[in-house]
Chain A
């Protein structure tokens, strides 16, 4: 039986009991259980006459006795044989109502007589026409045809080569026999149609599944269904031209055998695969067995009783297969869903991980940038304000510094500090702006000392993209050059020239800064030498070229040359500006790689 949720929970004996009841019910449907009325009589013995000209009431003791149900075969060389089968039944009195004759499972048809009176006829075999009936027959018998005492029933028919059968003859009142007849007819005819339809449907479904999935089991199920369809069709065609007889019988037997063999192999492949060789051996065995039986005319055209079971077998088998297929499908769908859910969970997890990693990365980059900034500030304090204060301290300790000079020293230190702040505090540190600021800061000192400061920055572009690490050190070098010119050269005029020239490659250029004074030049003494060496070192550290032209009495020119590139600052700025939108990045990645729904495959 098709398993249902409730039956799975039932115990084994309970389940078996249910199955048994179901079968018993089916048996009852075939009419094997005795009905309420005891009146219908079954005729169990008949007498056989090889002639259809026998009188309706043949003399007792004649003919060949046979017991029903009976099967007989006829060889091909015999041709068409005529036969009369005669059986008797006893009635105590002539019945009042209509009676009937129920012939179950006669393969031949023929004409039926009761006490010599015609009762009914069914098409029989002729030279042109082959018959193979699988259904019961019911003929009404008038009470006037019956007598009290011994009644004779006769079936006259013909048969040709092949196997034949006569299952049973029952005589009785119409009503109970009608019930039996309809039940038997259902299982003989209607069920065959059901079986054929089921087989067709199953064949189409299995074939479609095979075209989609190309697996090993469904083509066999399609084939088995096809075989059963052939068998059922052969069963349903009961009258055919004589020339089609062999084909019909082959289809009947072949379909049945084919169904058995292929269904068996399908079952094996599904649950307990065996090597190809074994499969073909199975097919060969079934084919051989079937062939042998058919050849020996031992194949039964089944009676009503067997018919019910055999006819039931295929649809039930296909139904069981359908149940299994449904369960498998439901399981697969469930698996796919849970796989999808599992996948989504894992993707979510990965997203979280990714997000955390991004944030961690960004944080470490930020910290790195901060530490870098700190380094820069420390370096500049060392070079700028630090050295300024140190030399001022030396000066003061040596003595001979007036309060005004002291105030001036301190003022210059504050200015230095401002210079650094201006350069460091700006978000986008630009060399041109820093130089402009330097001029602004230095001008008052020059004015106070009465030294003319000319500043020529006509060819300088508005922006010079130098790396931020370069700006302040470069500025300091220029500042020192200016301070030297102001303090030590005794010059009356200092000229600063700033120019930018394009380089060979596009988006590159050279920055030229020139500080010229008309002072006394730099004497080659130790202090000056050390100062200049310091300046050279600083220039070298930032990759700038430094040239000092000096001649005692002829003034000094300090020339700086620095290379700049268009996007030098781009990468650095990214670190310190917009926060990384991790959510947007994850969304982008997701859109590019959508998760697949069918995770199970």
Chain B
């Protein structure tokens, strides 16, 4: 791990929150604020200009959605951790961000301690998750596998298909998501699977990356099917 401070850019249109995040980062010695932007255009210029380790981005920007920025940064700068700022932490925003390439998220009203620890978690190779997000990821995987019909929970369908080729997740990864969906803590999951809590979060990050690749891969597959790409 590098001893340089973690460089972070903030893309947030509401000035109060922008100031708040900036303040949190600037009061932390191991982190450095590399820049702020309040809209998409400024954000793009900032991204092209600066080198940074973490991008904190709010989806609701005045001149468009931040999803495009997430997608382009995750492809051009794969080492960057992208953290989405979300009010609800709900399925729609978080999962679509993950599919676009985000590796983490924080709630807009998180305490400074939460923000710092989440950034550290990302840099350490893990990702945050909640029961809702775990379930949403499972559901996203299921819908991409095209499982017919809907059951009461995404959980059942994915576990049935965990051995098929079309499921990009490994058995362990699926199991982790299922336990998370039930509301189990990292410690409990680590106990059950015989791994450390840190390994659990690392698995989550891998799961997020797989989801992003899978959704990107789908687009590529579809494009090549339509004859838009040449292999």
Beta-carbon contacts of A448-467 to B below 8 Å, as 1s and 0s? 00000001010010110100
User: Bound complex: CA of A435 vs CA of B90, how far in Å?
Assistant: 16
Partner-binding segment picked from B6-14, B44-52, B151-159, B220-228: B151-159
Partner-binding segment picked from B64-72, B175-183, B201-209: B175-183
Q: Which residue of A lies closest to B181 (CB)?
A: A433
Once A and B bind, how many residue pairs between them come within 8 Å at the CB atom?
A: 73
Contact of B183 (CB < 8 Å), options: A425, A426, A440:
A440
Q: Is the CB of B150 within 8 A of A573?
A: yes
A141 at the A/B interface (Cβ < 8 Å)?
no
Residues of chain A within 8 A of B132, CB atoms compared: 422, 426, 433, 437
Beta-carbon contacts of A229-261 to B below 8 Å, as 1s and 0s? 000000000000000000000000000000000
List which B131-157 residues lie within 8 A (CB) of chain A.
131-132, 135, 139, 150-156
Count residues of chain B with CB under 8 A from any CB of chain A: 25
A131 at the A/B interface (Cβ < 8 Å)?
no
Beta-carbon contacts of B117-140 to A below 8 Å, as 1s and 0s? 000000000000011100100010
B109 at the A/B interface (Cβ < 8 Å)?
yes
CB distance from A458 to the nearest CB of B (A): 10
Contact of B89 (CB < 8 Å), options: A418, A433, A439, A457:
A418
The secondary structure that dominates the A interface is helix
A517 at the A/B interface (Cβ < 8 Å)?
no
Q: Is the CB of A457 within 8 A of B155?
A: no
User: Bound complex: CA of A414 vs CA of B111, how far in Å?
Assistant: 13
B31 at the A/B interface (Cβ < 8 Å)?
no
User: Bound complex: CA of A573 vs CA of B151, how far in Å?
Assistant: 10
B53 at the A/B interface (Cβ < 8 Å)?
no
B24 at the A/B interface (Cβ < 8 Å)?
no
Q: Is the CB of B183 within 8 A of A455?
A: yes
Q: Which residue of A lies closest to B180 (CB)?
A: A436
Q: Is the CB of B130 within 8 A of A426?
A: no
Residues of chain B within 8 A of A433, CB atoms compared: 131-132, 135, 153, 181-183
User: Bound complex: CA of A443 vs CA of B187, how far in Å?
Assistant: 13
Q: Is the CB of A438 within 8 A of B150?
A: no
A411 at the A/B interface (Cβ < 8 Å)?
yes
B184 at the A/B interface (Cβ < 8 Å)?
yes
Given contacts A463-B152, A465-B152, contact A438 B183 (CB under 8 A): yes
Residues of chain B within 8 A of A421, CB atoms compared: 88, 90
B185 at the A/B interface (Cβ < 8 Å)?
yes
B92 at the A/B interface (Cβ < 8 Å)?
yes
User: Bound complex: CA of A455 vs CA of B184, how far in Å?
Assistant: 9
A170 at the A/B interface (Cβ < 8 Å)?
no
List which B65-112 residues lie within 8 A (CB) of chain A.
88-92, 107, 109
Q: Is the CB of B184 within 8 A of A430?
A: no
Count residues of chain A with CB under 8 A from any CB of chain B: 29
Q: Is the CB of B152 within 8 A of A569?
A: yes
Q: Is the CB of A428 within 8 A of B152?
A: yes
Q: Is the CB of B153 within 8 A of A428?
A: yes
Contact of B156 (CB < 8 Å), options: A462, A573, A577:
A462
Residues of chain A within 8 A of B182, CB atoms compared: 432-433, 436, 457, 460, 462
Q: Is the CB of A430 within 8 A of B91?
A: no
Residues of chain A within 8 A of B183, CB atoms compared: 433, 435-440, 455, 457
Q: Is the CB of B185 within 8 A of A426?
A: no
Contact of A414 (CB < 8 Å), options: B109, B155, B185:
B109
Beta-carbon contacts of A298-328 to B below 8 Å, as 1s and 0s? 0000000000000000000000000000000
Q: Is the CB of A463 within 8 A of B131?
A: no
User: Bound complex: CA of A463 vs CA of B178, how far in Å?
Assistant: 11
Q: Is the CB of B90 within 8 A of A422?
A: yes
User: Bound complex: CA of A427 vs CA of B157, how far in Å?
Assistant: 15
Q: Is the CB of A430 within 8 A of B152?
A: yes
Residues of chain B within 8 A of A437, CB atoms compared: 130-132, 183
Residues of chain B within 8 A of A443, CB atoms compared: 185
Q: Is the CB of B150 within 8 A of A577?
A: yes
Residues of chain B within 8 A of A430, CB atoms compared: 152-153
Given contacts A425-B92, A443-B185, A457-B182, contact A463 B150 (CB under 8 A): no
Beta-carbon contacts of B152-194 to A below 8 Å, as 1s and 0s? 1111100000000000000000000010011111000000000
Query: Which of B107, B183, B184, B185 has the most C-beta atoms of chain A within 10 angstroms of its own C-beta?
Result: B183
User: Bound complex: CA of A155 vs CA of B107, how far in Å?
Assistant: 138
Residues of chain A within 8 A of B130, CB atoms compared: 437, 440
Residues of chain A within 8 A of B135, CB atoms compared: 426, 433
Residues of chain A within 8 A of B150, CB atoms compared: 427-428, 573, 577
List which A374-412 residues lie within 8 A (CB) of chain B.
411
9 tightest CB-CB pairs across the interface, nearest first? A436-B183, A436-B131, A439-B183, A437-B131, A463-B153, A463-B152, A436-B182, A422-B132, A421-B88
Interface residues, chain A, with chain B CB atoms under 8 Å away: 411, 414, 417-418, 421-422, 425-428, 430, 432-433, 435-440, 443, 455, 457, 460, 462-463, 465, 569, 573, 577
